[in-house]
Amino acid sequence: MQCLSCAEPIKAGWRFCPACGAILMPERVQEQRRVAVLFVDLVASTKLAKSYGSEEYFDLMGEILTVLAGEIEALDGHVVQFQGDAVLAAFGLTKTHSDDSLRALKAAKACLTAIENYGTRVGLELEGRAGVDTDDATTGWVGKELTLFGNVVNLSRRLSSAAEPGEVLVSERTRESTRQHAQFMVAHSRIIRDYTEERGPYRLMNFRLAKSDSTPTPFQGRRNELRWLENLWSRAQQHNQPIQAQIVGAPGSGKSRLLQEFTLRLEQEARCIILHPKQVKLETSTLERLTAHESLVVVLEHAEQFEAAALAQLTALRGKATLILHHRCSPAVGLETLRLTGLGFIETRALLESLGGPQPVSLIQRWLEVSAGNPWLLERLGRASLEPNFQADSTKLPETAARAVLERLDELPRSARETLSAAALFADGVFTGALEAILNRDVSADMEQLLESGWFAELLPSVITNEREFVFTLPVVRSTAATLTPLKGKKLLHFGLAVWFLERDAVKAREHMRQSNEVKPSRVRLIKQRPAPLEHVESSVSPDVTQIQ
């Protein structure tokens, strides 16, 4: 990549050119994301504008919109646009949370309260109204602005227009995803223009009191792995010298939890220290402090970011019982390695039942299939089973797992997510040459970052000469990453892969051509004008609603 102003080489993720200081244009990456869109509007703003001069009204609206933006961003929402006296915001656009719809509702209520409080402070009667919808949208950059398009934007605006002053109206999708945390009442009298086929809308009444969840993550299985670590420590004590080893596994495979359990068991025998490259550097003073302890266990988080020379100096200084454990996603050469894989059925059952009590065997098997035995995903699914409306035959398990994975993927730069999404279209092996051909850019930096993050593992040797080959470490990561690419993009990418494989693997070329032909563009929904259904009544609302948190 090069700066458009001075042609200086730049790296993905840089915002400014180090040579000329020019602002670098953001990556033109389109993604398909499930978002909760909030539209907040100020009531009777036209009447208010007539009583002020243009400059005074500008200052007034600027202060109000700044207050609203603060309420939205406090809940990790992203302000997409200011539209006159209204704010369009999205939750899940820049960072995914499992409760994005709930965050949007809380932000809507907070915005309406903030408008009233601001009016009281300046001596004006100000009121707002809001609409919230949750659905898939295509997101990306237009010019220098991150924005989104889809029915979810239009419906949230229509819901806000139909709301009464001080009211929040939500769609059925938003209500279904938040009904265990909030109380609603169907608003029969509201007609949503252009969306009369939608059920509802629903008026937000209140939030339910949240149950505090202080249950620590239970430790299940991994007995053989603990025994392996204990044997290493015994060898270090027996020979009275440093021993280095590494623990390798996909994200969420339980590396940190295993090391936590191991160090807790050694509290009375040795001094256990956890070092993170962002918190401490292995400088001379640090190394001298580490050499003062008789028995020492050092855990190196993200060990690949520590300098090899400093680690060599540590082992040279320590002539005592020392165990240095490298916490890695990708293995290093020359170290004893413990590779963590997914839990089996017995460990999965023990983990889930420690969270939510006895579970049906069929449900445990379903959880195991969705998570591939990944302890972190199993914990997320197990805690989801504690929700009041959870059903044993729930079809939302893959969606719950996907939202959890998206939370982790959002830690990556957009270029790396684009590379990961394109890689998800491969049937098995992922080849860097094919990725560069369809994305039309160098992906080596992205692949190294994805390797360090643990989402990929490299296959050696590659089945195609002079090409690096990778595989996904978790199936759910592949399926989730594939959803980030819009349908139009999938069609073009499959066609590009078919062309690339044509001279290398005829079978894969035909498979990608078939998939390119099977991708159909999404159809535009025809809106039929008919009265909103009146027979549907929300029965879960009790007369004595709880107070807003």
* Amino acid identity at 365: Q
Stretch 363-386: mean pLDDT, rounded?
Answer: 82
| pLDDT of res. 528 | 40
d(CA 275, CA 263): 13
More confident residue, 357 or 516: 516
| pLDDT of res. 211 | 52
Stretch 465-480: mean pLDDT, rounded?
Answer: 89
pLDDT-derived band at 49 (thresholds 50, 70, 90) equals confident
- CA distances to 244, 282, 399, 405 from 95, rounded to whole Å, are 37, 33, 16, 11
417-472 pLDDT, tens digit each: 889 999 999 988 899 999 999 998 899 889 988 887 888 888 888 888 889 999 89
Closest CA relative to residue 462, chosen from 451, 449, 471, 452: 471
| Helix runs in 208-325, H state only | 223-239, 255-265, 284-290, 308-317
Could you write out the three-class secondary structure of 11-35? CCCCCECCCCCCECCCCCCCEEEEE
Angle at 250 between CA 245 and CA 255, to 5 degrees: 50
| pLDDT of res. 41 | 92
| pLDDT of res. 91 | 94
Indicate whether 527 pLDDT > 80.
no
- Strand (E) or helix (H) holding 206: strand 202-207
Stretch 268-273: mean pLDDT, rounded?
Answer: 79
d(CA 162, CA 174): 16
d(CA 446, CA 420): 9
**Mean pLDDT rounded to a whole number for the chain:** 81
| pLDDT of res. 169 | 93
| pLDDT of res. 422 | 92
Indicate whether 542 pLDDT > 70.
no
- Residues 111 and 77: beta-carbon distance below 8 Å: no
pLDDT-derived band at 548 (thresholds 50, 70, 90) equals very low
* Amino acid identity at 400: T
| pLDDT of res. 5 | 64
More confident residue, 51 or 171: 171
pLDDT-derived band at 315 (thresholds 50, 70, 90) equals confident
Stretch 157-176: mean pLDDT, rounded?
Answer: 91
d(CA 328, CA 345): 26
- Strand (E) or helix (H) holding 297: strand 296-301
